[in-house]
Amino acid sequence: MTVLRFDNVSKRYSSGHEALSEVSFEVAQGEMLFVTGHSGAGKSTLLKLIHLSERPSRGAVVFGEKNLLKVGGRRIALHRREVGVVFQDHRLLADRSVADNVALPLLLRGLRRNDIGRRVRAALEKVGLGARASALPGELSAGEQQRVGIARAIIGEPRLLVADEPTGNLDPTLSAEIMALFQSLPERGTSVLVASHDLALVKRMKKRVLVLNHGRLVDDIAPEDLAE
Ligand SMILES: Nc1ncnc2c1ncn2[C@@H]1O[C@H](COP(=O)(O)OP(=O)(O)OP(=O)(O)O)[C@@H](O)[C@H]1O
């Protein structure tokens, strides 16, 4: 089953710059893949079209059965429940505890406190932070903060998890650990799309790789075709 389809998608910003040009690809349910390319190649733009921070200028982004062009108003928030997002700078609330940060998506949905507490504990256990629930983000290392961001992104059990340079601030060992988390964490059936300019790290993951160059999709490499 296909979770996400880009159908000849182009994105021109109001500055006139075309960040994506006629990009087409599909992501299957449960698939993990990477998008890579030079700085400015269009990776962040591609992810923004998926969580509706931007709209395409031409072409269609289809999520499940929905053409995202037709998703507006209150349905944008409903769509975002189905897409978990991890940012490079994790965007945690500095004055709220780790547990509160992870709980946020469920609080916004109006879940009961008991359910939220149980799910937060489970998510923090999964990312290895069960003991740090009451800490403030500033008391954690960069790698731990990124783990909190991941817990927050998966707690709503999204159909698709997208991450924009999630290892950008981390050393190579921590980067590999975070990538391994992406591979192991999501519930079965969740697809994972990670943008990273770190080609060496991406290749080591042995997953499908989309390569952007100046907004064009120039390669779609199957895991078995990745050179060492
Ligand atoms: N809001 C915007 N308005 C105008 N141009 C933009 C905007 N956002 C991005 N761009 C331009 O679009 C191009 C693609 O940007 P994008 O952020 O998608 O690239 P990227 O591959 O994620 O780069 P990086 O690895 O440096 O984050 C760049 O040339 C960028 O300057």
> What value of ipTM does the predicted structure carry?
0.96
Residue 144 has pLDDT above 80, yes or no: yes
Q: Where are the alpha helices (H) located in 43-141, listed in sequence order?
A: 43-50, 75-81, 98-108, 113-126
- Atom in ligand 1 nearest the alpha carbon of residue 20: 14
- For a pocket test of ligand 1, which of 36, 45, 164, 213 has the largest count of ligand atoms closer than 8 A to its C-beta? 45
Which candidate, 76, 9, 69, 77, places its Cα nearest to that of 45?
A: 9
Which residues is 155 bridged to in the sheet?
A: none
Alpha-carbon separation of residue 38 from 23, 35, 126, 142 (angstroms)? 16, 11, 32, 24
Give the phi and the psi of residue 102 in degrees, each rounded to 5.
-70, -30
Instruction: Assess contact for 188 and 29: CB atoms under 8 A.
Output: no
What confidence tens digit (pLDDT) does each residue in 14-36 have? Answer: 999 999 999 999 999 999 999 99
The set of residues, in sequence order, having a beta carbon less than 8 Å from that of 112 and lying 6+ positions away, is none
Taking the centre of ligand 1 as the mean of its atom positions, its distance from the CA of residue 40, in whole angstroms, is 5
pLDDT at residue 88, rounded to an integer: 83
- For a pocket test of ligand 1, which of 20, 21, 35, 43 has the largest count of ligand atoms closer than 8 A to its C-beta? 43
Pick the residue whose CA is nearest to atom 25 on ligand 1: 39
Q: Which token pair is 195?
A: 């943008």
pLDDT at residue 86, rounded to an integer: 93
Residue 228 has pLDDT above 70, yes or no: no
Ligand 1 pocket, residue 88 CB under 6 Å: no
Going from the N-terminus, what domains does the chain have, and what CATH number goes with each?
A: 1-82+162-228 (3.40.50.300), 93-157 (no CATH)
Taking the centre of ligand 1 as the mean of its atom positions, its distance from the CA of residue 210, in whole angstroms, is 17
- Atom in ligand 1 nearest the alpha carbon of residue 195: 22
